[in-house]
Amino acid sequence: MISKAMQDALNDQINKELYSSYLYLSMAAYFEDANLPGFGHWMRVQEAEEREHAMKLYDFLLERGGKVMLKAIDAPKTEWKSALEVAEEVAAHEAKVTASIHALYETALKEKDYAAQVMLQWFISEQVEEEKNAAEIVANLKLIEQRGTAVLMLDHRLSKRGGD
């Protein structure tokens, strides 16, 4: 049986992952409205991954005999000044998610919940990739801004991202 502290922490993380999904869907809409469908596609793939992360936690909680308690999801921001501003927000958001996953892992350690510790190892590794991808896009957009070209080339590259 899962502890109440672990159950509550997992429910909080489910909410955070669903908010991430909602935020990235809002970013996709921003890009699609700005006629940047490749950026929009990349954000839609990102949104689906975040929803998948929420469901991994959801299923894990149920498998452990816990109770899923869905909470309200805050409305995300809908306007940005540029693609770079969006990318920087994604990078900052992913760093925040990483900190939240680390705190969740600390709860698993404190609760001596070994199954949760094992499951959370996947999330810890995933966050390394998430932060790296966001940082690369920020770096590319900064390079593009310095040279004033190639946004459409990056948009095309982002449209090729798979949705596995």
The answer to whether residue 71 sits within a structural domain is yes
Domain membership flag for residue 164: no
User: What's 121's domain CATH number?
Assistant: 1.20.1260.10
Task: Give the range of the structural domain holding residue 141, as residue numbers without chain letter.
Answer: 4-159
Give 70-113 pLDDT, tens digit per residue: 999 999 999 999 999 999 999 999 999 999 999 999 999 999 99
Residue 164 has pLDDT above 70, yes or no: no
pLDDT band for 18, please (50, 70, 90 cuts): very high
Domain count, the chain: 1
CB 2 within 8 A of CB 113: yes
Residue-wise DSSP of 47-79: HHHHHHHHHHHHHHHHHTT--------PPPP--
The answer to whether residue 68 is domain-embedded is yes
Give the orientation angle of helix 151-159 with respect to helix 37-63, to 10 degrees.
Answer: 40
The whole-model pTM stands at 0.89
Give tens-digit pLDDT for 61-74. 999 999 999 999 99
Name 56's Cβ contacts closer than 8 Å, sequence gap at least 6.
119, 122, 123
- Which tens digit of pLDDT belongs to each residue from 31-41? 999 999 999 99
Rounded Cα distance, 108 and 6, in Å: 7
